[in-house]
A and B are shown apart, each in its own frame.
Chain A
Amino acid sequence: MRGVVAGLSFAARRLGQAALVMLAILVIAFAVRAALGDPLREIMGEAVPEAERAALRHKLGLDAPWPVQLARYLGGAVQGDLGTSTIYKRPTLAVILAKFPASFELVLGASLIVLLLSVPAGIYCAVRPRALGARLVLALSVLGISIPVFLTGIFLITVFSVWLGWLPAFGRGETISLGPWETGLLTPDGLKHLILPALTLSSIMLPLFIRLVRGAMLDELGHDYVRTARAKGASPLRVWLSHALRNALLPLAAVGGLQVGTLIAYTLLTETVFQWPGMGFLFLEAVTRADIPLITTYLVFVGVLFVVTNTLVDVVSLMLDPRIGLEGRG
């Protein structure tokens, strides 16, 4: 019972922190807007008489003192109103959310590849550290870390699109609308378009995760409980998978979750190479065309992703290892 109460209070405190961080992000976004964006110039241009400008400024509430404007901005944000894009003339949040499925499916594809390859490769490298294969995997992972993600993409395009002509180099291909969610996963054309971008994105995460799995497994394999399990006569495979791997997952979940910023940056690069119509591609367009409301909304959105992932990682860590919450409380 005490454990449940402690767990709940940990979760409550964690949610409080998350809310505070979100508030800070919104205030920063407001400051960026106030410093960089002049909505009047975007609406009416430079050559409008001052009296008319003042009238519009008053009508839009831009002559109010900044605490009032901040309060209005925060009030709007709570209701999902973060401004209007100057390029698309639509609410910024809607513009960004429309691009979310593309980015999400790219990350999903890459994560599947990373998961399917890194766990077996990492375990193999931990269990047979001196085998030629393990050395090869580690050498390749140094190479993988060293090649910038956009070059991997360019090389893949050169080989599979330009030379061989097997796979498309640009865009998402044919998509199907499932309500608001536009998916490319249900058409053969959409899947074909996903292969190269997903491979590219996974290439940069893969070496990191192989090393993580290997490091975590090496740590766990040195513990007494593994020796005990072996002495009991458990098969090696069972020891690796159901004993060591399970305990190795905790640090993995924590580190993996903390990689979300890196993942967003690499997704942005991958989307640029493949002109993948996701959020990162949209963000760069907004930057080039100085669409301040869209830029700040993207930052807020990334902040939300970030806070949600970090909170989830903490909660999952707590569930996997109840000691964490109790220690953190003391």
Chain B
Amino acid sequence: MSAEALPKAQGALRTLAAEHPGGAIAAIVLCAIALAAVLAPLFAPQDPFDLTSFDVLDASLPPSWLEGSDARFLLGTDAQGRDLLSAILYGTRISLTVGLLAVVIAAAIGIPLGLLAGYAGGGIDTAVTRAADIQLSLSTLMTAIIALALFRAGFGGEGLSRFAVPLLAVVIGLAEWPYLARTARAATQVEAAKDYVRAARALGASTRGLLWRHILPNIVSPLIVVATTQIGGAIMAEAALSFLGLGMPVTKPSLGTLIRSGYDLMFAGAWWVTILPGLVLIVLLVSVNVLGDALRDALDPRRPSG
């Protein structure tokens, strides 16, 4: 069965480009952003995490197209004199890292649980579904806020900033697992009733082999759709947490931290420190969501969008 999945995926990508030009554009924009973020150390003008590479005397300089700018700083500088272009590139790196890590963690918990619940049914199914429902009604963001707030209250701002990236990924990943579990469960229930699963079971396949080798490859499509949307959710959650001061520290700013630290300057006229990272964040999130919607239409035709 898994051999068939590949041409199916290629066909889906072609459908995506033909029927959802918006989705294709979003995919290209995302690739460009990801590439810029990954290669940032190669071409960013400075290392914004290295406190010795910038000078507070350069603080709050406007972008190059405005009066009073400095040719060294294309997008201007923040309150510490950090080059904003470099800060945005590195901040995007952090946002993407946390977003992807969080979804990997969510998938590592949610997909096995969903497969098991959908296949085994009974008590396991009830337990997983109940746990997912409770977690979902608490909402990703609220769960993450409470977890990080308690961490900060217990270990102080220092402890929080030292472990910010893994901590954010774990907290957001733990908060997001139900989405993947639910999708995996529903898709598994549909697949489990099909003839090929019965045939494999009759031939003596173990439950584990059945789940991983037969069912999982056939439910990849809806999982990809949900995972894409969840990456968007995780990036937004990271930005929100950092904006609240519960995420990345000022010394290692993500896009959310930049927006927060620039916010105080906005009333002094230095709008760029907030608005420019904000625009990048919005482009990132819109692309992920548009791509997610297009993927849903292309890969999962049964479910209408919306």
Please give the residue numbers on chain A whose beta carbons come within 8 Å of chain B beta carbons, in ascending order: 32, 35-36, 138, 142-143, 145-151, 154-155, 157-158, 162, 169, 211, 214-215, 218, 258-262, 264-266, 268-269, 272-273, 283-284, 286-288, 290, 292, 295, 299, 302, 306, 310
Contact = CB atoms under 8 A, between A and B. Distances in A.
Contact of B282 (A146, A265, A269): A146
Given A36-B154, A258-B136, 14 more contacts: A142-B290, A146-B232, A146-B286, A146-B289, A150-B243, A151-B281, A154-B278, A261-B143, A264-B139, A269-B240, A283-B149, A287-B153, A287-B246, A295-B150
A215 B306 contact: yes
B226 to A, nearest CB: 15
A148 B239 contact: yes
B271 A151 contact: no
A18 to B, nearest CB: 13
B274 interface: yes
B266 A154 contact: yes
Contacts of B271: 158, 162
A158 to B, nearest CB: 6
A158 B142 contact: no
B214 interface: no
A261 B142 contact: yes
Contact of B289 (A36, A142, A151, A259): A142
Nearest to A286: B153
Contact of A142 (B139, B150, B244, B286): B286
A148 B141 contact: no
15 contacts: A32-B150, A36-B153, A148-B240, A150-B240, A150-B243, A154-B275, A155-B275, A157-B266, A169-B267, A258-B136, A258-B137, A262-B141, A265-B145, A272-B244, A287-B149
B61 interface: no
- Among all A-B residue pairs, the 3 with the closest Cβ atoms: A261-B139, A265-B141, A146-B285
A196 to B, nearest CB: 14
B306 A138 contact: yes
Nearest to A125: B306
Nearest to A212: B306
A218 B304 CA distance: 11
The binding surface of chain B is classed by DSSP as: helix
A154 B244 contact: no
Interface of B: 136-139, 141-143, 145-146, 149-150, 152-154, 156-157, 232, 236, 239-240, 243-246, 259, 263, 266-267, 271, 274-275, 278, 281-282, 285-286, 288-290, 293, 304, 306
A295 B148 CA distance: 12
Given A158-B266, A272-B244, A265 B150 contact: no
Nearest to B154: A36
Contacts of B286: 142-143, 146
B92 to A, nearest CB: 15
A276 to B, nearest CB: 14
Contacts, number: 107
A144 to B, nearest CB: 10
Contacts of A295: 149-150, 153
Nearest to B232: A146
A268 B266 CA distance: 21
B244 A268 contact: yes
Nearest to A161: B267
A214 B139 CA distance: 22
A269 B243 contact: yes
Contact of B153 (A150, A272, A292): A292
Given A36-B150, A154-B278, A142 B259 contact: no
Nearest to B150: A32
B141 to A, nearest CB: 4
Given A143-B286, A158-B266, A290-B153, A264 B243 contact: no
Contact of B245 (A155, A273, A288, A302): A288
A283 B149 CA distance: 9
B172 to A, nearest CB: 13
A145 B232 CA distance: 10
Contacts of B244: 268-269, 272, 284
- Of A145, A157, A299, A306, the most chain B CB neighbours within 10 A belong to A145
A69 to B, nearest CB: 19
Contacts of B240: 148-150, 265, 269
Nearest to A272: B244
Contacts of A145: 289
A211 B305 CA distance: 10
B306 A148 contact: no
Contact of A35 (B152, B154, B157, B290): B154
A287 B152 contact: yes
Contact of B142 (A157, A264, A272): A264
Nearest to B153: A290
Contacts of B275: 154-155, 158
Contact of B263 (A148, A154, A259, A288): A154
B306 A265 contact: no
Contacts of A292: 153
B264 to A, nearest CB: 11
A310 B149 contact: no
A261 B137 contact: yes
B162 to A, nearest CB: 17
A37 B304 CA distance: 50
Contacts of A283: 149
A267 to B, nearest CB: 10
Nearest to B263: A154
B241 to A, nearest CB: 10
A292 B155 CA distance: 12
